[in-house]
A = this chain, B = another copy of it.
Amino acid sequence: MTTPAYSVGVTEVEIDDEFWSGWVETNRDVTIEYQYERLESSGALENFRRAAAGETGGFSGMWFQDSDAYKWLEAASYELAKDDDPDLRERVDEVIDLVAAAQEDSGYIDTYLQLVEPDGKWTNLHLLHELYCGGHLIEAAVAHYEATGETSLLDVGRAFADHVDDVFGDELDGVPGHEEIELALVKLYRVTGERRYLDLAQYFVDLRGHEDRLAWETAHLDEIAGHAYSDVEQGRGDQIMDAGHNLFLEDGGYDGSYAQAHAPVREQDAVEGHSVRATYLYAAVTDIVAETGDEELWQAVQRLWENMTTKRTYVTGGIGPEHDHEGFTEDYDLPNETAYAETCAAIGSIFWNQRLFEHTGEAKYAALIERTLYNGFLAGVGLDGERFFYVNPLASSGDHHRKGWFTCACCPPNAARLFASLGQYCYAKREGELYVSQYVGSTLETTVDEIDVTVEQTSSLPWEGRVEVTVDADGAVPLNLRIPEWCVDATVTVDGEAVSTDGSGYARLDREWNGETIELVFEQQTRLTAAHPAVESDAGRVAVERGPLVYCAEAVDTDRPLHQYALPADADVESEHREDLLGGVTTVETEAAVPSLEGWADDLYRPVEETDIEDASLDLVPYFAWDNREPGEMAVWLRALDR
């Protein structure tokens, strides 16, 4: 097997950061632990046992429940890579044994189909999630192999991929209703070097959205919808499947846009449909571009990214404003209180942008990852690591709160695998150069073009902009240090000697390294941000940002209802670090105005010239930390005076 070309390995980075270590440790000690307990209590493992025993019926959970086990295996493998804990290894091995036992001789595995509809395999690619679950199996397999060097799960993943390769393009043509297998197959290609896995990923990408497929789907609507899923979830199966099915319908015909199947990928120019599906697909497409150099696909990916980031992304990095289909809508449609902005979609965006970053080395992709990590993603997880947002509104009247584990538990396990592999997002290697893309205190030990390199990083982000990077290498390795978009002034010195930066988004240091320390100072200023005039929800409003963080107002910090505050466009702002608050956060206090309550008496309406505003101040906390205190209103976009 070849060494994976992909990113830095999760085994190569060890995180030790004031801000992030707490999250990563809570993820390991609380979230992944709970996730494991949940595998048993939810019946996910029992499904594998029953399938292994050749039983039928008695399936528990959502029809894509297998993916919970795979996501846990992936997250747990990342932890094993960092610390070979014998107890964890034993659990991982036990779960792998169950999965392996449940796999059929053909390589097929999907306990929902095996237990509930053994004759229904590959008959409903829209709604059943065989390829989606299989993709997570493969991602777990790759992670486990990279962490341990063992092939116990990789063999299962390969057998499944081989089976899919046998079935598809030969006896069956079709694309999954939820993309995931595509990016997994590229990962599998990268660890195995087997080209057919890459080709299979490209097969799924290229088949998607062609007119003849659309015609086929429309003609088979009844067949697609015709399954009886009555024993899933205590009789809720029908409802769930009906709801899922309706997402593919538009005026009685098939509409693939929910799953990005409305047009061939290479012809698409706006991000549409379910936003997790979209980002998983475009992550895979970016991988394929990186491997094949397919220029047409690359143009499409760039168009899609431009559309998403210039017209369909919240200031938090969140994406997909709409609840019913958990997805994208129209350009500039970014409602705040009703935002969906699913945590999983933020994670999907990080996956996609990491691949874009590794392919191009362009700082803008890493900048969006940073924005999404600290805001749209991180808000999804409570400070206790036990409660999660699926949905991340940018304003709340006070009735939106994190919940514990869900039946459809996509977000918590997805967050778990991102936290567990966070080190992979901090550095990248490409074309013989090393990139520091996220400023997270950590140690990297890697090899760049056969040169061993050690990087030690300490970081004061997100609260301050001071970073130290100490580098040792066996030879000359160009080092690219990303200059964050938000810093108003960046100074870079090597052992006290100033280095000039060129506006490329990087400080590039092309030299030999013998333990020199690079000091970076990114000056942070609290800043007020406006949205494009076309964004109705943010009209006449500003968001407050500081460094990589978006801030918000919470009722617990204010005397008045939030709607009464307005900020001057040139508001005086002060920040203060408070160790006692929310686990230690830097708060922002901004000048504001509120309506005078004088003279209103019992009036409901008055001539505006008889009303007045008066000075006030408003305390803000980082958006990621909201809903960790008393419940109440929250708002990111605050009314502006003079806008």
Contacts and interface: CB of A to CB of B under 8 A. Distances in A.
Interface of A: 306, 309-311, 313, 315, 527-536, 539-540, 542-543, 560-561, 563-564, 566, 569-570, 594-595, 597, 600, 602-609, 611, 613, 639-643
18 contacts: A309-B604, A310-B603, A310-B604, A311-B604, A528-B609, A530-B605, A530-B608, A532-B600, A532-B605, A533-B560, A540-B566, A543-B605, A569-B608, A608-B643, A613-B642, A613-B643, A641-B641, A642-B642
Please list the 10 inter-chain residue pairs (A to B) with the smallest Cβ-Cβ separation, ordered nearest first. A533-B595, A539-B563, A530-B608, A536-B563, A528-B608, A310-B602, A540-B639, A530-B611, A569-B608, A529-B605
A609 B569 contact: yes
In the complex, the count of this chain's copies comes to 2
A641 B613 CA distance: 12
A315 B641 contact: no
Contact of A642 (B563, B570, B641): B641
A608 B536 contact: no
Contacts of A564: 533, 539
A383 B529 CA distance: 44
**From DSSP, what is the main secondary structure of chain A's interface residues?**
mixed
Given A566-B643, A602-B306, A597 B533 contact: yes
A530 B604 contact: no
Nearest to A642: B641
Contact of A529 (B595, B606, B640): B606
Nearest to A313: B604
Contacts of A606: 529-530, 532
Contacts of A309: 604
A119 B134 CA distance: 63
> Which residue of A534, A536, A540, A613 has the most chain B CB atoms within 10 A of its CB atom?
A540
A484 to B, nearest CB: 14
Nearest to A567: B608
Contacts of A603: 310, 532
A594 B603 CA distance: 30
A595 B530 CA distance: 10
B604 A531 contact: yes
Contacts of A534: 561
A163 B87 CA distance: 84
